[in-house]
Amino acid sequence: MGSLSAHCPTGIGALVPGESRVLPPKFEVLRVSNRSKGEYLRKNPCQGYPSISSSKLGVDECKLSLMFRVPDPISCYPNSRISVIKSNYPQNVDLPRYYSKKGKKPFPVPIVELRRAARERQKSSKGQTRRPMPPPRNGLLVRSLIPVAYEVLNARVTLINNLKKLMKVVPVHACKCCNEIHVGPDGHPFKSCRGARAEVRKGLHEWTKAIFEDVLVPIDAYHLFDRLGKRLTHEERLSIPRIPAVVELCIQAGVDIPDFPTKRRRKPVIRAGRSEIIDANEDDLPNSETDTFKKPIITEIPDLDIVPPSNPKQTALLSEETLEAWEKMREGAGKLMKKYAVRVCGYCPEIHVGPSGHKAQNCGAYKHQQRNGQHGWQAAVLDDLIPPRYVWHVPDVAGPPLKRELRLFYGQAPAVVEICVQGGAVVPDQYEPTMRLDVEIPSDVREAEMVI
């Protein structure tokens, strides 16, 4: 068969995070042959681009192979204007997967990979001297993370104070029957309620004014005086105070709060066994040492002293500050969690900050009778420590309300981000994919049905 030339239309492929995509030149069919699948075209005029064979697709009946070459956009078209599209985030992303409460959440890292990594560490450590344990496993603090802990704690207090002010000017609604919330002038019309008597209301929500705890979900944990001490037993669960998990993580990372004392060591501990430790003698050390990492801690404003912003300009500035505090708290907490262990129950949202989970039998999740109320501890992720609480994004607050028939065209965002955006803040790049800002919303249902 003779040679044949054709052209394919130009187009832009799907964007991949961190990848640059160039408008491709026209593909040229070099050869159409009926040879066997194993033969490939060796001729390649533009160096650096391999030939692409469609014979790998498995066309065995006629053994037809199409050979294409992709010209080099620089060498073959030196004078052409090529537009480059760069994107660090994809255009549209679905929300994090929802896991049913009738089962255990998957591990962040699969067990098979954890065992494989443990075997590799065991093989690599054979014949080598045992290295001393690094902090914080040896009882000492990671000194480079002490300023981060203070920043996270202050960012959390700033976030709480600013959110209470914004919620006085930005309306936030909560359902009376379920835990869903909505940010906007009116509640959304979607039939997604799963609370009590939802079948009577046909899934419609009963909206009321939301409180602060609906937006920033309180996640508490037991405060440990010694994070390397013995595990908390079931009988001790009522005598140990519970504080916010983020605050407990900052205390273990180096923040000193007089109301919640904790044990600080200045020498590495001595391990007498797998679960037994002995404190080193610190009598030869000075009684006090100046710590340059300590910073003043911001205090929370009482609810009666909260003053909302008086004009839209102040609301926009307050929204930007709130969004910055939200990002700083999440980013700093993620850094602390890489060094200081945080555990979460695979069945319920119970959080424990420490090397191993507590023994309190207070889990009431699915099939807790078979576990005698004990928690199924596993490594926690950032969303377990700071739940984002996704809500529907309102494209235009002053425009028409959300329509039930156009639900597929609306995006979602964390409740804190949506409050700040409606207050006048700029949308961060990392939240644009889930908010679907590049999707044009149809004006009516008829126009939506015409969308492919």
Residues 11-31 have pLDDT tens digits of 444 444 444 444 444 444 444
8-state DSSP, 411: -
Cα 313–Cα 300–Cα 327 angle in degrees, nearest 5: 60
Claim to verify: residue 169 and residue 65 sit in the same structural domain: no
Residues 166-217 have pLDDT tens digits of 999 999 999 999 999 999 999 999 999 988 989 999 999 999 999 999 999 9
**Which band of pLDDT confidence, cut at 50, 70 and 90, is reported for residue 41?**
very low
> Is 264 a member of any domain?
yes
Strand partners, 65: 33
Task: Please report, to the nearest 10 degrees, the dihedral formed by the alpha carbons of residues 369, 372, 373, 376 taken in order.
Answer: -100
> Is 430 a member of any domain?
yes
Distance CA 200, CA 373 (A): 34
Claim to verify: residue 264 and residue 324 sit in the same structural domain: yes
> Is 353 a member of any domain?
no
Last residue of a domain, one of 87, 121, 147: 87
Q: Is cis: bond before 387, omega within 30 of 0?
A: no
Claim to verify: residue 310 and residue 410 sit in the same structural domain: yes
> Is 300 a member of any domain?
yes
Claim to verify: residue 77 and residue 143 sit in the same structural domain: no
Claim to verify: residue 309 and residue 408 sit in the same structural domain: yes
HSE-up (13 A, CA, CB side) for residue 355: 13
In contact, 389 and 217? CB cutoff 8 Å = yes
Where in the sequence is the domain holding 257, given as residue range(s)?
136-329+389-435
Residues 60-117 have pLDDT tens digits of 444 444 444 444 444 444 454 544 445 566 777 878 777 788 888 999 999 999 999 9
Question: How many residues make up the chain in this entry?
Answer: 452
- Looking at the structure of the chain, the number of domains it has is 2
> Is 131 a member of any domain?
no
Claim to verify: residue 51 and residue 143 sit in the same structural domain: no
> Is 14 a member of any domain?
no
> Is 414 a member of any domain?
yes
In contact, 365 and 101? CB cutoff 8 Å = yes
E runs forming strands in 366-431: 377-379, 390-392, 412-414
Question: Which distant-in-sequence residues (6+ apart) come within 8 Å of 262 by Cβ?
Answer: 223, 224, 225, 226, 227, 251, 252
Claim to verify: residue 44 and residue 171 sit in the same structural domain: no
> Is 36 a member of any domain?
yes
Burial class (CB in 10 A: 0-12, 13-18, 19+), 314: middle
**Which band of pLDDT confidence, cut at 50, 70 and 90, is reported for residue 274?**
confident
Claim to verify: residue 261 and residue 396 sit in the same structural domain: yes
In contact, 245 and 353? CB cutoff 8 Å = yes
